[in-house]
Chains A and B, each alone.
Chain A
Amino acid sequence: MIRKMYDWVDERLNVTPMWRDIADHEVPEHVNPAHHFSAFVYCFGGLTFFITVIQILSGMFLTMYYVPDIVNAYKSVEYLQNEVAFGVIVRGMHHWGASLVIVMMFLHTLRVFFQGAYKHPRELNWVVGMLIFFMMLGLGFTGYLLPWDNKAYFATKVGIGMAGQVPLIGGFITKLLQGGDIVGAETLARFFAVHVFFLPGALFGLLGAHFIMIRRQGISGPL
């Protein structure tokens, strides 16, 4: 039955080459922890992606309750945390996942760095990886404000204050981040938009490029 459905779609859209492109690639012995335990260091990249997927899913569920305005933001998070079934788990996953994704990404970066895996011909993939790193830091920074509690508010003030110290363009950066003269209603709306639309959009594109490049080039050989 499934076979037939697949053939029906395949006859019309020729999906087999696409599917084989995704499924077919060899996993060399030196990256396989089943053969060499020390190869667990190659898991960090995949785990970063795994946690990223968790972040996307939990974030999608959080936006079902979250209200991005300064009157209701805190109340909506409090409601989510205390009243909604499993709300505390979903928010907890997003909260801890945000730290975990940074940890995993950091370990992945260190693995690539210490193995010199960024060398010719993989320079471009390293650069894309660094851009992903900055996107993740941006997601962490913008997401931190959204609960609109004291911790969020004052940490964001500190962060924007740090950016404001940049010579010449400091004032401009501050205005751009705050959307006004103070950390207030416009800042929250802005951070929400950046956290939920702009950065994830950029992140998807970069992740796609990251994966296409690794598939095209294959994983770096043993040291």
Chain B
Amino acid sequence: MAKHDKDIEYVGDSQVPAKRVPNVAPSYDEYPGKTELFWPNFLLKEWMVAAVVLFAFLMLTVMHPAPLEQVADPTNAGYIPLPDWYFLFLYQLLKYKWASGTWVMFGIIIIPAISFGALFFAPWLDRGPGRRPSQRPVAVGTMLLALVAIVYLSWAAMAEHEATLAASGGGAPVASNKPPADFKAGEAYTKQVGCAGCHGANMEGGLGPALWDEGTRMDKQQILDMINNGGVTMPKGGMFQGTEEEKQALAEYLASLKGNK
């Protein structure tokens, strides 16, 4: 049997000692430098930083609402997918010939396993006593190389994605392309409120590409196709309101727009 300290008094029949611990903060006067208390001194300053971050964050959310595309449609063969930005480097890596197909072991196992494994076990790989970057050139150099590779791969994935979008027939959001000052959209277009929402009241573009010179890019049939089947962001058929004849007239009108020529 263990010996009990008979002198300790408890609260009732509980295990809480009756002797109170004073609720006072310790002093760090003896510590080197300007050491200060975490609570409440430092936490207040930390909260000020957090408040600034929160404000910037709220501004971002108010100015850029979270995007919501059309409901998932597994039969939409034309959709060009893109993973979230922090997976792009891996996505891009697997596109290279030397890292996919028969070499997929490289792209999916060897390269990621070595890089993430090395990161995971960094304390055991980088064992020297020195902590300064100059004292551990291998670790710091490898990390810098990895950072460059990640930035490059993400950028390459984005560039390739944009190129594919542009090549897929222009449903992609395109910066507005101003029509000439004397340009006025025809009636066949202006009475279609649905079109103007994205392509602009005067065909100057917006979420969708400008249309005032659409005839230089598509002929009547392609335009009808786009209206009926939609594009990458162009909704399928639904935005057009009117008879089939009016749709034909609209496509013909759009195809006739050759810009300044």
Contact = CB atoms under 8 A, between A and B. Distances in A.
Given A130-B119, A140-B84, A26 B36 contact: yes
B7 interface: no
A35 B107 CA distance: 46
B82 A27 contact: no
B72 A23 contact: no
Contacts of B41: 27
A35 B81 CA distance: 48
A183 B75 CA distance: 12
Interface in B97-127: 100, 104-105, 107-109, 119-120, 122-124, 126-127
Interface residues of A, number: 88
Interface in B72-100: 72-74, 76, 79-87, 90-91, 94, 100
B25 interface: yes
Nearest to B94: A162
A151 B35 contact: no
B258 interface: no
Interface string A36-72: 0000100100110011001000000000000000100
A32 B81 contact: no
Contact of B39 (A11, A23, A110, A116): A23
Contacts, number: 219
Nearest to A50: B50
A20 B123 contact: no
A113 B61 contact: no
A-B interface, 10 closest residue pairs, ranked by CB to CB distance from nearest? A154-B81, A116-B131, A29-B33, A95-B66, A92-B61, A153-B72, A123-B123, A23-B39, A149-B69, A74-B71
Given A92-B60, A114-B140, A151-B67, 9 more contacts: A13-B16, A25-B38, A27-B38, A88-B65, A100-B57, A113-B143, A118-B122, A123-B124, A220-B131
Interface of A: 6, 10-14, 16-17, 19-20, 22-30, 32-35, 40, 43, 46-47, 50-51, 54, 70, 74-75, 77-78, 81, 88-89, 91-100, 102, 110, 113-120, 122-123, 126-127, 130, 137, 140-141, 144, 147-155, 157-159, 162, 165-167, 182-184, 220, 223
